[in-house]
Amino acid sequence: MPKHPHIVAVIPARLASTRLSRKVLREIAGRPMLDWVYRAARDCGQLDRVLIATDSDEVMAFASESDFEAILTPAECASGTDRVHFVAQSVAADIYVNVQGDEPLVRREQIDGLLRPILKRAEVLVSTLATPCAPQQIGNPNAVKVVIAADGRALYFSRATIPHDRDGTGLVKYQKHLGFYAYRKAALDHFSALPPSPLESAERLEQLRFLEAGIDIYVEPTEFDSIGVDTEEDRLAVEEILRRRLSAPQGKCGEI
């Protein structure tokens, strides 16, 4: 039987945040946000190891108190992908999963879906997720849209409303990108060796560096949306959802 690949999840957790100060340690429904993320990732049966990557001594102390594995990364790491790459230099794995530290709604179905393309096809170096974009989010630049080829490759990611429905047909099916990634180490090494790309800098979307470098990103559909916490409004919305999950009968967690 073929050997099952060794899969390590890395949770980039930068304490400094311009829009919501100290957000990874902000309390949501009685627990720090990072606590929700770590425990949810650990519940995914396909992950062999879960660790936090942070440049903060305070986050390291929180991880130690919580018995969470963590690695201190340089402050110079400019993105979550850079932090995952730093971890990959000392932690061996076949596949690295990037679960952002501001995604407390992450669930095992999302991680299972994320891994599907990269486990099935050896040529896939990077995979990610997309879900149907809610109408109220189509024009929101914080909801990143992705256009996907018939074979599952991402054609482009943008904060703009893409594709543009020029004739106003209302028939365009917009896809919202969810910020979870799975990588092979070769892709991480290539990413880190390149300077930030022009499109990446313009859109402030690190995944565009892969596309500009000719590295395909394969997109797996998921029915489960998520909310990345960037503002106090996001935090409150996530808190309401998590409280509903906690009070719901087992197995009835809702659609997000």
Q: Is 80 exceeded by the pLDDT of residue 19?
A: no
Residue pair 69/30 in contact by the 8 Å Cβ criterion: no
What's the rounded Cα separation, in Å, for the pair 149 and 185?
Answer: 24
Residue pair 190/214 in contact by the 8 Å Cβ criterion: no
Q: What is the pLDDT of residues 55-77, one digit of tens each?
A: 999 999 999 999 999 999 998 88
Buried b (16+ CB within 10 A) or exposed e, 134-169: eeebeeeeebbbbbbeeebebebbbeebbeeeeeee
Residue listed under structure tokens 């963590």: 70
Domains in the chain, CATH or no CATH each = 1-104 (3.90.550.10), 107-225 (3.90.550.10)
What's the rounded Cα separation, in Å, for the pair 100 and 112?
Answer: 16
DSSP state of 20: S
Does an H or E element contain 63, and which? Answer: helix 57-66
Residue pair 69/63 in contact by the 8 Å Cβ criterion: yes
Q: Which amino acid is at 247?
A: S
pLDDT band at 1 (very low <50, low <70, confident <90, very high): very low
E-state strands within 68-160:
70-72, 95-99, 126-132, 145-148, 154-158
pLDDT value of position 250: 59
73 Cβ contact list (under 8 Å, min separation 6): 53, 54, 55, 83, 86, 87
* pLDDT more than 70, % of the chain: 96
pTM of the model: 0.92
pLDDT band at 18 (very low <50, low <70, confident <90, very high): confident
pLDDT value of position 154: 98
Residue pair 154/148 in contact by the 8 Å Cβ criterion: yes
- Number of Cβ within 10 Å of residue 16's Cβ equals 11
Residue pair 78/88 in contact by the 8 Å Cβ criterion: no
Q: What is the pLDDT of residues 112-171, one digit of tens each?
A: 999 999 999 999 999 999 999 999 999 999 899 999 999 999 999 999 999 999 999 999
Q: Is 60 exceeded by the pLDDT of residue 190?
A: yes
Q: What is the mean pLDDT of residues 28-32?
A: 94
CA neighbours within 13 Å on the CB side: how many for 19?
Answer: 10
Residue pair 48/32 in contact by the 8 Å Cβ criterion: no
What's the rounded Cα separation, in Å, for the pair 188 and 184?
Answer: 7
pLDDT value of position 16: 81
Q: Is 60 exceeded by the pLDDT of residue 91?
A: yes
Distance spanning both ends of the chain, measured CA to CA: 36
Buried b (16+ CB within 10 A) or exposed e, 204-214: ebbbbbbbeee
